[in-house]
Amino acid sequence: MREFLDRARTAATDDGRLPVGAMPGWDVFPFEADSVRVRPLEEYADPEPDRRKDAADCKVCQARGRPDLVLLEGEHLTVIRTAGTSLVFTANVVSHDHAPLDDLSDPGLSELGLLVGRTYRALKALPEVGNVHINKWENGSGHLAVVLLARPRGVLQLRGSNLPAWADMLPRIPEQEYAERADRVRRSLA
């Protein structure tokens, strides 16, 4: 697999940076193309470091213990909302156990598909939502979290894979507004 970095480095400039690529030309790219600079490629990390947090430090585990954030409890998984968001709504389908997707049982995998689909429909039904994006990230906590991000209706600049970057920069919506939407999502999932 070492050929991956070797191949990438042949496309890099003398200072080890790859060209920016086509993404800055997308109408939904959140940054001006002339101010974007690609970081140089780093060396292989082999073996990769263990990035899992202890369950006591896991934000997902902490959120599962807060009834105001829990939207639905399944047999193996829970649907939670984040504590705050800049988007219309953000929900996570998370495992009950502090474990990654690799450790989910077959019944848990079946429930994952069902809950992601039901949560998608519940978020898409909110009148303020234009679309719902689904992602899975586990690179820091070691706890399965399938993230559903609801893009505001009509705000087309937020479309696509840069939605999380936009969400990081936009101001948070008022908690009361978010809590009211959470109640609608909770009823829809019930």
Domains of the chain, residue spans: 1-49, 55-189
Q: What is the pLDDT of residue 1?
A: 56
11-49, pLDDT tens digit by residue? 888 888 888 888 888 888 898 878 888 888 888 888 888
Q: According to the model, what pLDDT value does residue 31 have?
A: 86
Please tell me the class of the 55-189 domain: alpha beta
- The DSSP code sequence of 118-160 is HHHHHHHTSTTEEEEEEEE--TTTSS-EEEEEEEETT-GGG-G
Positive/negative CA dihedral, 167, 169, 175, 176: negative
